[in-house]
Structure 1
């Protein structure tokens, strides 16, 4: 198997860690190949993958398992596209903070295995993804583990984040509002989010369209605190204008 096919196989398998199936058309677009090329690949990958009703699934997945809810599928697709865009920002030698949240692992998926970088994280879901990157040096912010959102929270006066200078901070949000700012569900995430926003040279907000015009419990930032916003093409126009007015760069 040539190196390009092997890389495509790996990316498909990573995508299927997060859901039971992915549409052939979507995966072809993410890999920048034609659907016909991807179909030919699947013939070579038949021990691992198969095509069911236009969806790529793992061998052994039951037909009933891959028909996920439409809303969930759309959000996964958009988070994956956000991850692909954000991953392009990371350069060799960078030190990157990956926030908790379901979008961050998709960024990690699209960072090339050969790229050498340092990753800082405070959540289990991100740590499990980072360990698959052989040239990544991982720094975990320790502390009390909260099972609900898989976050490690430190109550010490100083933490490892105080001594780290970040090239990039990829920060996730559960709500983005013109009036009420950028919010998340859990107060135990706020301190870390605010600290990395102070420590990072480049601050990036990751939010799909469903997060806009939404307000959650815990406020931690405003749109003006970010230099980049990575979203999808369904982001409401009013927020496109707000982001541009704030001086941030919108990537969709």
Structure 2
């Protein structure tokens, strides 16, 4: 990114510093360039700003957080997610009961379970459950409730109590935002209870996130980084390593 692009982005962030939105045409007028140039600047930026419906917003503003699209996310960073899950699979042991979170980051992990024996997978995600159901010898516990089509997952008032009664060895947790000071977050509030319940009762808690999530803040906060034992990522997770903090595993 050249110096002029950096200067334009800084000007736009300053215009959005008080919150709200900025129409694309107004952003172009402010910077004295075309709308296409502004689009290119945003595409090449660090993700601090995003375009929603032709308006520029700060990506960490929960009022304007983008809608999560599971189908689109399935093909986003696909090779990276595979590599992250290969590292995550190294923590598995025969006989484990696993909590596997919703979304697409952890879906490649399911394909790596066949090499282990006597596994049980606990999930509230329909896409994860469908994949696990095809594996012979892997027991599936699907947590039910109201189905949320946006994330193909279920939610219910008593799900956290159900999870608390299970003996979970390892909880594999995904996230849409990971911030050193503001913690770990996701798009959907119905995901908070099962994530927190799994973190609370699991013997080992593993956060699996690709670099696009690092530095982001999403609407539904559910944990601090030191709630995890291990963070598996390809992003720059330079964190203060206090006693009891998570172990960072690079993929």
> Normalising by structure 1, what TM-score?
0.66
CA spacing shift, 1:121–1:72, aligned 2, 3 Å:
closer
CA contact (8 A) 1:141 1:159 kept: no
CA contact (8 A) 1:99 1:193 kept: yes
1:79 matched to 2:77? The reply is no
Partner of residue 249, structure 2: 251
Partner of residue 37, structure 1: none
CA contact (8 A) 2:225 2:245 kept: no
- The structure showing larger relative contact order (alpha-carbon pairs under 8 Å, at least 6 residues apart) is 2
* 152, 156, 159: which one aligns with 2:158: 156
Partner of residue 39, structure 1: none
Higher helix proportion, which one?
Answer: 1
Q: State the Cα deviation string for residues 90-118 of structure 1 (Å, max 9, x = none).
A: 11110100000111111111223552211
Q: State the Cα deviation string for residues 216-251 of structure 1 (Å, max 9, x = none).
A: 11000010000001112xx12xx2334677532222
CA contact (8 A) 2:125 2:153 kept: yes
Stretches of structure 2 lacking an aligned partner (at least 5 in a row):
1-72
Q: State the Cα deviation string for residues 169-225 of structure 1 (Å, max 9, x = none).
A: 000000001221100000010011001110101000010111001011100001000
Deviation at 1:72, TM superposition (A): 8.5
Partner of residue 26, structure 1: none
Q: State the Cα deviation string for residues 36-91 of structure 1 (Å, max 9, x = none).
A: xxxxxxxxxxxxxxxxxxxxxxxxxxxxxxxxxxx997711110100111112111
* 217, 224, 232: which one aligns with 2:219: 217
Give the number of equivalent residue pairs.
Answer: 178
SS in structure 2 at match of 1:241: coil
CA contact (8 A) 2:164 2:198 kept: no
Cα distance in 1 between the residues matched to 2:167 and 2:76: 35
Cα distance in 2 between the residues matched to 1:143 and 1:229: 29
Partner of residue 25, structure 2: none
Stretches of structure 1 lacking an aligned partner (at least 5 in a row):
1-70
Cα distance in 2 between the residues matched to 1:72 and 1:97: 20
1:117-128 matches, cutoff 5 A: 117-128=119-130
